């Protein structure tokens, strides 16, 4: 059974206006005063209205869900003690006229010097799933095999339809904001580990990125852990939404490792087609039709059935079949976080959205 871990980014907001509140350092300090949060489990993010949590290494989905619930409770309580609230939302629904200050870290300040406008507008929050792999060579093989499924994961996770107080028409506006950086979106196909390393070093040498942390592909090799890191999902409204995605990502990686060892053909998808279906997944989410791993438009239910068949043996091996399938069926019934935000916005305007994104944090 493969080990995994989950990282989530949240927004700190004013409980009345919903505007981002730059109090991440204070919230981190307040959360760390209790016994429920280790200092390594919570970090500040690029902007001072964002915080990030990271679970310990997990073996079971139930274990990951318990850690996320614990961390959300602790950080949410710390935020409320300081007069703000924690919001599980992929993009800030409303933004003030004054930019949120950058967190006082050399790397973040350098990024602001390089691309001030992009950093000022980086009020977006994602969910990252790390899955352990035997070595980096196998990690590259995994990337080549899971890349065709990343648009499906993006569509399932969409939770950022609003921006500057209005409906963007996109299910994941976070994806569009992130796409403006030099290296982003679906990863290319790599020949082997040397190809991966040579191409990432070339990006550094060209000055396109300052460090490998700015390789914002939707999936990449972690430079800090022996893992593949899947980064395309928006942060999720509810813990069990995050658990669903974590279970699917682990099963995708396990399936890719099996197929790599068995010498199965690598799924083919051109870079331009993968980019196009990624854009479409960010635009429509799970509403209407969805592109399958070959780029063919079909119903969302059919694509999820394909996914379930693809990862079924891995889910069975890890004991996750029942939980993942139940959550998949709920996703089809209730829709994504973006769908729920849009419904709240239509029914009660921004106050209803604010209630949704802050009250779901501990669900």
Q: What is the pLDDT along the chain (363 residues), one digit of tens a residue?
A: 899 999 999 999 999 999 999 999 999 999 876 667 777 899 999 999 999 999 999 999 999 999 999 999 999 999 999 999 999 999 999 999 999 999 999 999 999 999 999 999 999 999 999 999 999 999 999 999 999 999 999 999 999 999 999 999 999 999 999 999 999 999 999 999 999 999 999 999 999 899 999 999 999 999 999 999 999 999 999 999 999 999 999 999 999 999 999 999 999 999 999 999 999 999 999 998 999 998 999 999 999 999 999 999 999 999 999 999 999 999 999 999 999 999 999 999 999 999 999 997 766
Please identify which residue in the block is written with the tokens 């059919």: 302
363 lies in some domain? no
Please identify which residue in the block is written with the tokens 């509810």: 238
Handedness of CA 87, 88, 91, 93 (dihedral sign): negative
29 lies in some domain? yes
Residue 349, sorted as left (phi over 0), alpha (psi -120 to 50) or beta, turns out to be left
Query: 287: buried, middle or exposed (CB in 10 Å: 19+, 13-18, 0-12)?
Result: middle
Q: Which domain covers residue 33, as residue numbers? A: 4-349
The model's pTM is 0.96
Total of domains in the chain: 1
Distance CA 298, CA 310 (A): 17
Beta-bridged to residue 130, according to DSSP, are 5, 229
Which tokens hold the place of 38?
């280790």
Backbone angles phi, psi at 197, to 5 degrees: -65, -40
pLDDT at 327: 97
11 lies in some domain? yes
Distance CA 331, CA 349 (A): 23
357 lies in some domain? no
355 lies in some domain? no
CATH number at residue 136: 3.30.590.20
80 lies in some domain? yes
pLDDT at 361: 74
Terminal alpha carbon distance of the chain: 27
361 lies in some domain? no
340 lies in some domain? yes
């Amino acid at each position: 059974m493969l080990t995994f871990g989950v990282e989530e980014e949240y927004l700190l907001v004013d409980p009345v206006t919903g505007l981002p509140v730059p109090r991440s350092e204070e919230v981190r300090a307040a959360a760390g005063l209790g016994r429920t949060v280790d200092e390594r489990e919570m970090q500040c993010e690029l902007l001072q209205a964002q915080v990030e949590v990271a679970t310990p290494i997990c073996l079971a989905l139930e274990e990951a869900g318990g850690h996320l619930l614990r961390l959300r409770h602790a950080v949410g309580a710390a935020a409320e003690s300081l007069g703000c609230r924690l919001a599980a939302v992929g993009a800030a629904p409303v933004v003030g006229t004054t930019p949120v200050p950058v967190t006082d870290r050399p790397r973040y300040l350098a990024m602001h010097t390089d691309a001030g406008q992009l950093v000022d507008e980086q009020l977006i929050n994602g969910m990252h799933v790390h899955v352990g792999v035997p070595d980096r060579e196998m990690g590259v093989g995994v990337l080549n095999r899971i890349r065709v499924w990343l648009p499906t994961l993006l569509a399932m996770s969409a939770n950022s339809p609003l921006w500057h107080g209005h409906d963007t028409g996109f299910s994941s506006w976070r994806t569009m904001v992130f796409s403006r950086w030099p290296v982003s979106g679906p990863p290319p196909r790599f020949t082997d580990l040397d190809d991966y390393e040579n191409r990432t070093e070339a990006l550094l040498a060209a000055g396109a990125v300052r460090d490998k942390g700015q390789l914002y592909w939707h999936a990449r090799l972690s430079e800090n852990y022996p893992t593949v890191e899947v980064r395309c999902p928006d942060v999720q409204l509810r813990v069990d939404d995050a658990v669903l995605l974590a279970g699917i990502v682990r099963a995708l990686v396990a399936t890719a490792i099996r197929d790599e060892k068995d010498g199965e053909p690598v799924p083919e998808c051109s870079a331009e087609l993968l980019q196009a279906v990624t854009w479409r997944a960010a635009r429509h989410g799970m509403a209407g039709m969805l592109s399958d791993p070959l780029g063919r438009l079909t119903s969302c239910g059919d694509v999820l059935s394909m996914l379930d068949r693809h990862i079924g043996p891995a889910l069975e091996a890890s004991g996750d079949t029942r939980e993942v399938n139940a959550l998949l069926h709920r996703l089809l019934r209730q829709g994504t976080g973006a769908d729920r935000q849009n419904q709240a916005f239509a029914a009660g305007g921004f106050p209803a959205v604010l209630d949704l994104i802050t009250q779901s944090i501990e669900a």
